[in-house]
Structure 1
């Protein structure tokens, strides 16, 4: 990807999910609505040339910048993606196990509540649905040492369309200047940020 000051950067997604149980690990950009995710995929990522897709992880302290972009067969609608995220166990697991390639996908993130899930689904507190009180619509956790007052969980639905990424790099902030995609992103959104 060439140096380009007119890159259209997209950060209007919720975050990044990692899936580990496929032939290749998955990187999924999460969106709140399916229509938004589908439209953005068809408008942008569908036109990306697979061999030019780059994913960068720039580590700065306890956070990392997720950056993804590619050359497009339809440059007029091309976008690159970035998001500043806290480091997590799943991020570290992906970093150790990706073996140089991954599947890039979009996903829909949905909050789930007591009436919308099966009994074995865990709450955000870590306990199952059937470990929560269900009388009088008062869904607090029944474990004495748990402060959970309301059953809440989430579901991530991966969309079918996908792209293979073979250009993945993890780098520190000092190494950014040697990578055009990471440099363009940090230069625009960190170093030259106008308030």
Structure 2
């Protein structure tokens, strides 16, 4: 892992989950495809799968999504952080992720014209999960009270509180 301090990127919409693949998917959600693609190429593309760390730090009805890995080769040490509300999808991911998950980026945007589905429901948003992926083996779920004050996660949360 890079010895350079982590620069926390928090300018993404939230976190999405997908369950249909062999391993569950987790993905930060972005509004635009090209900036997300460029960010992936600059950061995560260079992270060795076995060095990626994903932490879900629970705090009341919310959790902190903290993702980092870094690369000695690239010299970039960007991490991702976002405080989001606990959801049914998060709880489902937590219960069934099987010690390994697929990391991807997702694009979530409002459709210019709402689309009527076959069942009569109206679809106002579209989700595209990008093809590039990494496997994450180091996944932790922890309560904020159980974090060590010298941990990367504790420092990240203190640095990124509004």
In 2, the alpha carbon distance for the partners of 1:53 and 1:179 equals 19
- Structure of greater Rg: 1
Tell me which of 141, 155, 169 is aligned to 2:140.
169
Tell me which of 134, 159, 163 is aligned to 2:130.
159
Deviation at 1:5, TM superposition (A): 8.1
Tell me which of 113, 116, 119 is aligned to 2:117.
119
Aligned positions of 1:21-170 closer than 5 A = 21-113=20-112, 115=113, 117-120=115-118, 128-129=121-122, 153-170=124-141
In 2, the alpha carbon distance for the partners of 1:74 and 1:10 equals 20
1:133-192 Cα shifts (integer Å, max 9, x gaps)? xxxxxxxxxxxxxxxxxxx621110001000001000000122217733123123224xx
Unaligned runs of 5+ in 2: none
Higher strand share: 2
Deviation at 1:128, TM superposition (A): 1.0
Unaligned runs of 5+ in 1: 122-126, 130-151
Tell me which of 148, 153, 162 is aligned to 1:182.
153
Deviation at 1:13, TM superposition (A): 0.6
Deviation at 1:12, TM superposition (A): 0.6
